[in-house]
Structure 1
Amino acid sequence: MTEATQRPKARDLNQVIRYTMWSVFKTTEQCPSNREGMADEVDELLEQAAGKDVVTRGCYDVAGFRADADYMFWWHAPTAEDLQDVYSRFRRTTLGRLSTPVWSAMALHRPAEFNKSHVPAFLAEEEPRGFVCVYPFVRSLEWYLLDDGERRRMLAEHGMMAREYPDVRSNTVACFALNDFEWMLAFEADELHRIVDLMRHLRGAEARRHTRIEVPFYTGVRKPVGELIAALA
């Protein structure tokens, strides 16, 4: 049996309620010399959370991509409360107390409007990639008033353009009413330049005329907790 046939089917995944959250932090104090102890504390927390089906998709080094952040966690879980719990528990760790929240956004999977086979990579249990680019977006006011056929056509074009980058895995999830945005999108790839090229290529999609907001961007390198903490100032 191949890896593809072992994965859940899209029709089954579309029945799943699964929340996800990206939380970005910046250290505000210098980390102590005992960084191994700090890493062990965070690893233990994440292991305990995994026992409750709160999955850490990755811990990412975002330092240098922006001046306002150092690292980011990506979690997913059955409920919003589960995500709130791991977030609060992390903030009580030594690393959490030495850091301040910069940005956080929660979302959840809802079946795609026109292409039901399109499910987030994390929900399909694909392996995480080495890099991630996360950002929110909001459609134009006119978008949801357009004829279904017109929206379907533009989204189909957008999807066809993305097919040139099969190694860049997408995660599009809804966040209406959960924050200031409508959608969250995370692109994962093992080569960062592939995300850059895809994003530039998709600027030519007609659907982009109906994008009002798509900032902030948080891009980072996936690292083990210990390696990430060792690199902090």
Structure 2
Amino acid sequence: MEEKTSELYMLIFSLKESRQEIIKKSLEENKDKIISNSGLKHLNIYESLRGDADIIGWVSADDPSNILSFLKELKTIIDGKGEIVHSFHSIYQRSPYLKNSLKIEDQIQNSRKKYIIAYPMSKSNDWYLLPYEERKRIMDEHIRTAMTDPNNKDILSYTTYSFGIGDQEFVVIYETDSLYSWMKVTEKLREVEARKWIIKETPILTGIRI
């Protein structure tokens, strides 16, 4: 019998601080308390490499009400000190194109990678009109190209889904210890057939773990 995968709800967000590092310090100092109070599975905080944001956050929970509790607490923390710039909701499920993908909870909890790259993504309507076997063939090439690239030595990937709950269809999240390696793998993936159906993958949030 196929194992039933429970949902894991995700939120990727970025913040702009109006007072230097006050929000960052508050999130750092109260991280464990915030996780406990909101019922989160995890909370990772990053310094943003974008000019329009100072902080990137990544949280997960078993229920969307926990994400809402976190957002309420976050808004209290940032009140008068900054603003939310980006906010992307999604739900994790195992990829239909991978047979033995690792449980995301284990991967997140064990990871200590330095960088995060996250962005919303959508595909054209024509993609979903292709037969499943054709889509699988195309995605197999994409996955094989990424997995066999010599620069892909440490990159962890998480494809999460936003159909009907956000302005995008997916939120794609990566962790790595080398932005150069990530850039080279991404460059190689521009050559695969699956690129023809991608219509959105911005804004890209890149940050350094605190």
Task: Tell me the TM-score range normalised by the shorter chain.
Answer: 0.7 to 0.9
Identity of counterpart residues, as a percentage? Answer: 22
Residues 18 and 103 of structure 1: is their aligned pair in 2 closer, same or farther, counting only changes over 3 Å? same
Structure 1 residue 85: Cα displacement: 1.1
- What amino acid maps onto 1:133 in structure 2? I
C-alpha contact (below 8 Å) 2:8/2:63 kept by paired residues:
yes
The answer as to whether partners of 2:31 and 2:43 remain within 8 angstroms in 1 is no
For 1:49-64, list aligned pairs within 5 A. Answer: 49-51=34-36, 53-62=39-48
Task: State the partner residue of 1:208.
Answer: 195
**Counterparts in 2 of 1:58-207, with a 5 A limit?**
58-62=44-48, 65-93=49-77, 95-119=78-102, 121=104, 124=107, 125-163=109-147, 164=149, 165-207=152-194
The alignment partner of 1:106 has SS state of strand
Task: Give every structure 1 segment of 4 or more consecutive aligned residues whose post-TM-superposition deviation is greater than 6 Å.
Answer: none
Flag structure 1 segments of 5+ consecutive residues without an equivalent. 1-10, 224-233
Compute the TM-score of the two structures, normalised by the length of structure 2.
0.87
Tell me the CA shift for residue 46 of structure 1.
2.5
Q: Does the 8 Å CA contact 2:14/2:85 hold for their aligned counterparts?
A: yes
Deviations 1:172-231 (A, max 9, x none): 1101111110011011101111111111111111001010111110101001xxxxxxxx
CA distance in 1, matches of 2:55, 2:24: 15
- What displacement does 1:147 show? 1.3
Q: Please, what TM-score do these two structures have when normalized by structure 1? A: 0.79
Which range is displaced more, 164-173 or 109-118?
109-118
Per-residue Cα deviation, 1:90-127 (whole angstroms, up to 9, x for no partner)? 2212x453111101001111232232323575553431
Q: How many aligned residue pairs are there?
A: 204
Aligned-partner Cα distance in 1 for 2:209–2:24: 18
Deviation, 1:128, is 3.3
Alpha-carbon separation, structure 2, partners of 1:96 and 1:54: 21
Asked whether 1:18 is paired with 2:18, we answer no
Distance in 2, Cα, partners of 1:159 & 1:116: 12
Are 1:129 and 1:189, in contact at CA under 8 Å, matched by a contact in 2? yes
Write the letter of the residue equivalent to 1:200: E
Tell me how far 1:79 sits from its aligned partner: 1.1
2:164 alignment partner, SS class:
coil
Letter in 2 for 1:210: W
Matched letter for residue 48 of structure 1: K
- Between 1:45-54 and 1:80-89, the stretch displaced more is 45-54
Q: Map Cα deviations across residues 46-71 of structure 1 (whole Å, 9 max, x no partner).
A: 21233354133421111xx3221111
Contact 2:24 2:55 in 1 (8 A): no
Residue 149 of structure 1: SS of its match in structure 2?
Answer: helix
Report the Cα offset of residue 166 of structure 1. Answer: 3.7
2:56 maps to a residue whose letter is M
Once the two structures are superposed, what CA deviation does each residue of 1:136-160 show, in whole Å capped at 9, x if it has no partner?
1101110010011110111000010
Residues 35 and 43, structure 2, Cα contact 8 Å, conserved in 1: no
Distance in 2 of aligned mates of 1:57 and 1:196: 25
Distance 1:60 1:126, change over 3 A: same
